[in-house]
Amino acid sequence: MIKIINLLGTPSREKFSLFVPIGIFLFSLGLIDVTLNSLFDVNITSFFPRGLNYFTPLIFGFLGLYYLRIEFSGNKMLDKLNININSNWFNSILTLLIIFVLIQNIPPLLNWLIIDANFVGTTKKDCSDSGACWIFIKIWFPRLMYGLYPNAELWRINTSFIMLITLVVALFYIPIKLKKYLIIFLIFVFPFIMFNLIHGGNFGLVWVETTAWGGLSLTFIISVFALILCFPIGMFLALGRRSSAPVTRYASIGFIEFWRGVPLITVLFMASVMFPMFLPDGVYMDKLFRVIIAITLFEAAYMAEVIRGGLQALPRGQYDAAKSLGMGYWRLHLLVILPQALKLVIPGIANTFLALVKDTPLILVVGLLELVGMIDMAKTNPDWLGFATEGYVFAGILFWIICFNMSRYSQRLEEKYKTDR
Amino acid sequence: MSEKIIQMEKVSKWFGDFQALKDIDLEVAQKQKIVVCGPSGSGKSTLIRCINRLEEHQQGKIVIDGIELSENTKNIEQVRAEVGMVFQQFNLFPHLSILDNCTLAPIWVKKIPKLKAEELALKQLESVKITDQAKKFPGQLSGGQQQRAALARALCMEPKIMLFDEPTSALDPEMIKEVLDAMVDLAKAGMTMIVVTHEMGFAKEVADEIIFMDEGMIVERANTEDFFANPKNERTKLFLSQIL
């Protein structure tokens, strides 16, 4: 085989002008073959025997890349390509396969998502079968965002989220002196304002049952509350697990191991079905609260272990130094240990937060309909049967955007607090 | 004789089965400078770490400036605020600038207003000659600068006693001098100091008395000239012959 390939001699710098055109020609031939085959159903190599013509693109491409593999060719771009994607025969085959898979799949995907998709119309009948039916998303959009929240009251949800975003953005631009007050406000006061605004029942606002809450806004509400609550709880659990007092230590270990040992879905069932049975008569606790508390405690156990990892990474000298300056337990931890430990575990914290956000759709098992739950409801609506794919793709894209931004934000934090050197 | 600021009576300390300190009796007067030397594992570091209770002693009695060290956390914190310590590995807080390292404890432990604490910190940084590094983070400084910053940080608490746990052992040879110079200045200013070190030149220049420890016991305690001129104990002679 090698001898046949080497008919023209080994590719070398001396014969650059011979090998490069041949390589490019064969490589392009392979690409054209695949493209024509997958997009236009034309097989230009049909004169080959059946078994062989299936592999022709691969063979052409392989030969092309072989001839292009000239060491120190003197051409910077070619050298760079050779080093990165064509360093030996195995890598060249991987490169070819990846290119072929992309050519095979991207055009049909784009076709379905955009080119053949339907955007205009109001009913199922306006949709053709060939592409995605985004009309489904368009019509259901308010429901997917706000759940069954009364239309007339939607401004309340909008206002509270605009306030939240404004405050968070403001956090980056206000002077450091005011910053801590804003953070305190954001964590201890704002959740109640937001909650009251959405829940209503006073200040002339109409009472909206939590069962009517839903869609993406519910995803956010649950995430925001669980994030804010699980962080301090996790912190205390992490400290508790390292405490020298046996009662505190074993209580923390027990709590953490219990919550880490049970699946979230059973925790949710327990919170919604079992828990009310243990409450005394006449005491009622809203299902949404129960679910938020369940998710919070569940994620707090994970958070505790992440933070403990950071605590353990700190050298003993830091404790010694802080103690020798006269700091007691709380000052030592709040001023010296935790700031460093938390900085170390920002990636782990981000991980837990992302997991939390992506766990929220599970609440549909107890009948709370956040984004994915609403899509489930919409796709079973008799007028709109058969659009599950569109719905889940939409949810996937939204979750990806949310999570990607959280991840970017955590990277920025990491960069910002990097003071090691 | 001036007032005894450190009094240790029959202090013993075990790590598991290993006895690190055996019946240590030690009295230190105010403004005295004591150098502790001895082979590694002899309990030097443990001794001074017991003085500000970074290690607990299990037997005996330690009284610092009239306060007895016991389980009482309030006493411990009070003692620690009066006793400064410099470590072998500097142990600066890497997440804070040098200035913040120096002001952290005065602000949060002694409740000094921020501006005043910064003024004090700059004065201390001036005395160890690193005022120009105040805004930098520990990771950006050389070892010698870090150790001097650590010294300034301890001094910002205005301690009555300073403990040094092998302050120059982790430094490059050329940085040792700048740290020792800062310590000599401090000694001249009249600080009570207990220094664990192998720098015998420093000991000769500064120390009033030298303590030689071996296997958890104080083998010999003598004033500096006697200690080097005619050591009494055989173990001390052997040690000195090896390091001088």
Reference A219, options A367, A371, A400; nearest CA is: A371
Output B102 or A23, whichever has higher pLDDT: B102
What is the tens place of the pLDDT at every residue in A249-267?
999 999 999 999 999 899 8
For chain A, the average pLDDT equals 84
Euclidean distance between CA atoms B155 and B82, whole angstroms: 10
Find the closest chain A residue to B142 by CA distance. Answer: A421
pLDDT at B153 over 90: yes
Element housing A178 (H / E):
helix A176-184
State residue A307's pLDDT score. 93
State residue A289's pLDDT score. 86
pLDDT at A415 over 70: yes
Contacts of B93 in chain A (CB under 8 A): 318, 321-322, 336, 340
What is the tens place of the pLDDT at every residue in A113-132?
887 777 777 777 777 777 77
Contacts of A419 in chain B (CB under 8 A): 94-95, 137, 139
State the nearest Cα–Cα gap between B206 and chain A, in angstroms.
24
Output A67 or A53, whichever has higher pLDDT: A67
Average pLDDT value for residue range A57-66: 85
pLDDT at A21 over 80: yes
pLDDT at A2 over 60: no
Reference A402, options A351, A346, A358; nearest CA is: A358
Indicate the pLDDT class of residue B1, thresholds 50, 70 and 90: very low
Mutation target among B95, B100, B153, B194 for the A interface, most CBs of A within 10 A: B95
Residue ranges of E strands in B65-208: 67-68, 83-86, 161-165, 192-196
Give the angle A338-B81-B3 at the CA atoms, nearest 5°: 160
Classify A340 as helix, strand or coil: helix
Euclidean distance between CA atoms B138 and B91, whole angstroms: 9
Report yes or no: B235 at the A interface, CB cutoff 8 Å. Answer: no
Chain A residues 262-321 with a CB less than 8 Å from chain B: 315, 317-318, 320-321
Say which residue the tokens 């009309």 belong to.
Answer: A135
Which ranges of A242-331 does DSSP label H, i.e. alpha helix?
A: 246-261, 264-269, 275-278, 287-313, 316-324, 329-331
B83, B223, B227 from B206: Cα distances, Å = 19, 11, 14
What was the ipTM of the complex prediction?
A: 0.91
- Alpha-carbon radius of gyration of chain B: 18
Contacts of A342 in chain B (CB under 8 A): none
Find the closest chain A residue to B74 by CA distance. Answer: A328
Name the residue among B87, B95, B157 with its Cβ closest to that of A326.
B157
Give the angle A20-A24-A30 at the CA atoms, nearest 5°: 150
pLDDT at B232 over 90: no
Do the chains contact at B83 and A335, CB–CB below 8 Å?
A: no
Do the chains contact at A336 and B93, CB–CB below 8 Å?
A: yes
- Contact predicate A134/A117, CB 8 Å: yes
What are the tokens at B241?
């012959």
| φ, ψ for residue B220, nearest 5 deg | -150, 140
- Contact predicate A298/A290, CB 8 Å: no
Euclidean distance between CA atoms A332 and A319, whole angstroms: 7
State residue B196's pLDDT score. 93
State residue A103's pLDDT score. 87
Find the closest chain A residue to B104 by CA distance. Answer: A335
pLDDT at A327 over 60: yes
Scored b (16 or more CB within 10 A) or e, A15-36 reads eeeebbebbeebbebbbebbbe
Contacts of B47 (CB under 8 A, 6+ apart): B21, B24, B26, B36, B196, B213
Indicate the pLDDT class of residue B115, thresholds 50, 70 and 90: very high
Indicate the pLDDT class of residue A240, thresholds 50, 70 and 90: very high
- Contact predicate A96/A58, CB 8 Å: yes
Chain A residues 317-356 with a CB less than 8 Å from chain B: 317-318, 320-328, 331, 335-336, 339-340, 343
Provide the angle, in degrees to the nearest 10, between the axes of the packed helices B98-108 and B114-127.
130
Beta pairing partners, B67: B64
Report yes or no: A142 at the B interface, CB cutoff 8 Å. Answer: no
Euclidean distance between CA atoms A187 and B59, whole angstroms: 48
Find the closest chain B residue to A342 by CA distance. Answer: B95
Do the chains contact at B94 and A335, CB–CB below 8 Å?
A: no
For chain B, the average pLDDT equals 89
State the nearest Cα–Cα gap between B104 and chain A, in angstroms.
8
Report yes or no: B38 at the A interface, CB cutoff 8 Å. Answer: no
Say which residue the tokens 């027990």 belong to.
Answer: A254
Do the chains contact at A320 and B157, CB–CB below 8 Å?
A: no
Chain B residues 54-113 with a CB less than 8 Å from chain A: 54, 73, 77-78, 80-81, 83-85, 87, 89, 91-95, 104-105, 108-110
Reference A19, options A59, A78, A77; nearest CA is: A78
Do the chains contact at A320 and B87, CB–CB below 8 Å?
A: yes
What is the tens place of the pLDDT at every residue in B60-86?
889 988 888 888 878 888 888 889 999
Pairs across A and B, CB distance < 8 A:
72
Find the closest chain A residue to B138 by CA distance. Answer: A420
Cβ–Cβ contacts within 10 Å for residue A106, how many? 10
What is the tens place of the pLDDT at every residue in A202-223?
777 777 777 778 888 888 888 8
- Contact predicate A306/A348, CB 8 Å: yes
What is the tens place of the pLDDT at every residue in B29-67?
988 999 999 888 888 999 999 998 888 888 888 998 888
Contacts of A36 (CB under 8 A, 6+ apart): A42, A43, A44
Euclidean distance between CA atoms A296 and A102, whole angstroms: 41
Euclidean distance between CA atoms A160 and B37, whole angstroms: 67
Contacts of A417 in chain B (CB under 8 A): 95
Indicate the pLDDT class of residue B2, thresholds 50, 70 and 90: low
- Contact predicate B114/B88, CB 8 Å: no
State the nearest Cα–Cα gap between B191 and chain A, in angstroms.
17
What are the tokens at B157?
């608490």
pLDDT at B10 over 80: yes
Indicate the pLDDT class of residue A420, thresholds 50, 70 and 90: low
In this structure, which long-range contacts are made by residues A120-123, counting pairs with CB atoms below 8 Å and at least 24 apart in sequence? A123/A383
Contacts of A368 (CB under 8 A, 6+ apart): A211, A213, A214, A218, A287, A288, A291
What are the tokens at B137?
């983070």
- The percent of residues above 70 in pLDDT, for chain A, comes to 97
A173, A177, B113, B124 from B119: Cα distances, Å = 29, 20, 10, 9
Say which residue the tokens 């009570």 belong to.
Answer: B192
Contacts of A320 (CB under 8 A, 6+ apart): B54, B85, B87, B91
Query: What is B163-186 written as a DSSP string?
Result: EEESTTTTS-HHHHHHHHHHHHHH
State residue A6's pLDDT score. 64
Report yes or no: B170 at the A interface, CB cutoff 8 Å. Answer: no
- Contact predicate A300/A259, CB 8 Å: yes
End-to-end C-alpha distance for chain A, whole angstroms: 55
Q: In what order do the strands lie in the sheet with B192-196?
A: B83-86, B161-165, B192-196, B33-37, B209-214, B217-223
Mutation target among A324, A331, A335, A414 for the B interface, most CBs of B within 10 A: A324
pLDDT at A352 over 80: yes
Do the chains contact at A325 and B54, CB–CB below 8 Å?
A: no
Do the chains contact at A419 and B139, CB–CB below 8 Å?
A: yes
Do the chains contact at B91 and A317, CB–CB below 8 Å?
A: yes
- The percent of residues above 70 in pLDDT, for chain B, comes to 99
Find the closest chain B residue to A337 by CA distance. Answer: B93
